[in-house]
Structure 1
Amino acid sequence: MAVVFDRPSLWQRVRPHLRGFDWLLLLAMLMLAGLGLLAMYSSGYDHGTRFVDHGRNMVIAAGIMVVVAQVPPRRLMQLAVPVYVLGVALLVAVALFGISKKGAQRWINLGVVIQPSELLKIATPLMLAWWFHRREGQTRAFDFAVAFGLLALPVGLIMKQPDLGTAMLVLAAGLAVIFFAGLPWKLVLPPVLIAVVGVVLILAFEPQLCADGADWVVLHEYQRQRVCTLLDPTRDPLGKGFHILQGMIAIGSGGLWGKGFMQGTQTHLEFIPERTTDFIFAAFSEEFGLVGNLAIIAGFVFLVLRSLMIAADGPTLFARLLAASLATIFFTYAFVNMGMVSGILPVVGVPLPFISYGGTAMVTLGLALGMLMSIAKEKRLIQS
C-alpha cells in the first residue's frame, strides 16, 4: 500500500524561522526603511541607480537580519573573539596597505573593496559583552582596565585612518557595554566633568584656538577646522562652512509642512552637499518639513526604546549588554547625523541609519537588528 506524504507549503517551511520574531522591532525598521526609500528617490533621482541600489541594500540587510536572527545568543558569544580579532587584523592591514580616497586610508581590496571599520561597530561591543559575561559577579578594577584596552585598540586604529565619525560610533557602543556592566560612577563623572570644562574653554578661547596656525595636538588639522567651523560657520561661508550653512538653510526653508516631494530647491539645485549620504536629512527636511522630521525622530525613538526593552529582558548578561550597546549605536547614529546637519555638532561623516545611501553601513544595521531579534527570540523560547 503506497503512502502519500503531503509536501509542506512554502509558508509551512518558512514559518518556524519567523517564530519568535520581535514584530515591534520589525515595524520600527520598516517605518524607517520606507522613509529612507522616499528620501532616496527624491534626493538621488539624478544619481544614476542610487535609488535601486539603496533598495537592493535594504533587501540584503533584511536577509542578513533573518539569517542572524536564527543564531542563538550563546553562538554569537562564541563568535565574539574570532570576529573581534579578524576586525582588528583588517584594521592593521588597512594601515599597512589600504586604499586611500580623499586623504583617508579606510578601505582594503579583498576581491571586493570593503571598509573594515564598519565591522568593528558590531565586533567591539560583541567582544566586550563576552568579556564581562565571563566575569559575571566578580568584576574587578582590572577587568574594566582590560575592557578599556580592548576598546582603545580599534578606536585608535580607526582614528589613525583618519575616521572620526566611525571612531565615535565604536567608542559609544563600547562605552555603553562598560557602563552597563557596572562601571562605578566615581570613574564616570571625572571624564564627563573634563569634557564639560573642555567645551567651556573652547568657547571662551575660540578666537585664539581657531586662529590660523593654531595646533590642537590631539586632532588632525581638518578635524580642528570642523570644530571651528561649527562654532562659526560664517567664518568661511563658501569654503569650510558651506556644508553646515546649506544644511541649515534647507532645514529652515522646509518650514512646518515642507516644500513637497521632489520640490526641494536646495536639494535639486545641488546646494546641499552629499545629499544622498551624510546630508540626506537636510534634503528630507526641505521637502517634508518639521512634520517629516518628527516622523523620522519618532521612528528612531521607537527603535531605540524597543531595543532597550529587549536588553532589559535579555536571558543572560551577555545578551543584555549586547542589546544595550546596539540600542546605543542606533541612538548615536541618529543623534550625530541630525546634529551635524543642523549645525549643533561638527561634520564627522556619520550616515543616518536606513535613510542614507551606503552598502556597508546597511549590512552593519542588518547584523545589529538580527542580533536583537536573536536575543528577543531566545527570551520568548525560554518563556514558552
Structure 2
Amino acid sequence: MRIAGVVAAAVALAGGWSAAPRHAAEAAQDAVPSTIPLKITNNSGRGDAVYIYNLGTNLTTGEQGWADASGTFHAWPAGGNPPTPAPDASIQGPGNGQSLTIQMPKFSGRVYFSYGQKLVFKLTTGGLVQPAVQNPSDPNRNILFNWSEYTLNDGGLWINSTQVDMISAPYAVSVNGNTTGHLKSGGYSAVYNTLKNTAGGWSGLIQTAPDGSNLRVLSPSYGVETGALPANVMDDYINRVWSKYSSDTLTVTPFGDQPDTKYFGKVSGNVMNFTNGAGAVVTSFQKPDAASVFGCAKLLDAPNDQVRGPISRTLCAGYNRSTLLTNPNQPDASDADFYEDAVTNQYSKTIHAQMADGKAYGFAFDDVGNHEALVHDGNPQDAGLILDPFN
C-alpha cells in the first residue's frame, strides 16, 4: 500500500501500489480474460458530474499509462521537469441514480473518481504525478475525489476500498458480487464528528472546501508529516511498549500457515532485537516514532523478504491497534482488543467502527490478520465500484 511523501510533485506511479497482498501467489489461470467489466453505480445522491480514471501499470508490457472505457491501454508520453500536463484520461461517469460499465485490463493500478471537477494529473521524467492533497498547493486540494486500488492478473482480481492515505467520498467495491467498503448508515458524518471531538489534535486531519464542506480526513501519517497532528502523539504508548519488553519477551508468529515459525523480541537500550528459535539475532529495530508507526516505514521499514518484513508488518499492526501491551503473542487474532488503549491510531479506530462489515485499510498493513477491506476472486467475471451516499 503506497504512502506518498509531502512533495509538490508527489511520487511517480509504480507497480508497488498493487491491491494484491504482497504474499499473494501469482498462479496462472486460463480463466482470467484480458479485460473484465467494471460496473460503476452512482448512489451518491449528488448532482455533480462524475469523472472516472483507470490508471496504472500494464502487467503485460510493464508500461505506465491509462485505460479508456473499452479497456484499451494508452502509455503515458514522456514527462518533463517541471512536470507537463498529462493527456486527459477521464471517462464521463454516471449521473446520480445511474450506472456505467467500463472494461478493466490486466493492470496494477487505481480507479479514481471525482465529483464536479476533473482531476489534475501531470507527468515528470519519472512518470505520473499523483494527487498529493496533504500539500496545500496541490491543484487537487479542493476537489472531492477518491480511489480504489486493484490488481487484475492471471491469478485473478484483487480490489480494495482503501483509507491508507485518506478517507473521503464514500464507496464500496465488489468482485463477482462479493462486496466490501460500505459505511454504516450515517457513518460518513460520524467519522468526521468523532475525530473532530477526539482530543490530542486528531481534528487537524480534517480538510474542508472553501465553502466549509468536508472534503476528506488525511491519514495520521500525513498528519504527522505536515504538522497537522502532533509528532509525539504515540510517544506514551511506544515508551510503555519499550519498558515492557525490556524485561518480557514479545513473540511474533508472522505467517498464519507456518505456526512453527516464531521470532522473539527483547529490548536492549534503544534497540529491539529479534532472535529465532536457535537464539540467533535475525533483525533489530530502533525505537520507532509516530511517523514510523503510522506509515509502517522508516524505523519500521518492511522489505519484501521472509524475515524482517513480516516481523515489521506484525509490529506495525500491533502499534497501530495498540495490542502490544495486552498480548505478548502477535499478531492478535481477535479484533475485540483492538484500539482499546487511550493512545492508539484514532483514525483507523474510527474508520473501522463505522464500516458496515468492520473491514478497512486504516493503515498500510491492516491486512495483518485479514482485517482489510479487500475482495479477491481467482475467476473474476465482473467487478463493481459503488459510489455511496454521503449521509
TM-score (norm 2): 0.25
Of structures 1 and 2, the one scoring higher in RCO (CA 8 A, sep 6+) is 1
Q: Which has a greater percent of strand?
A: 2
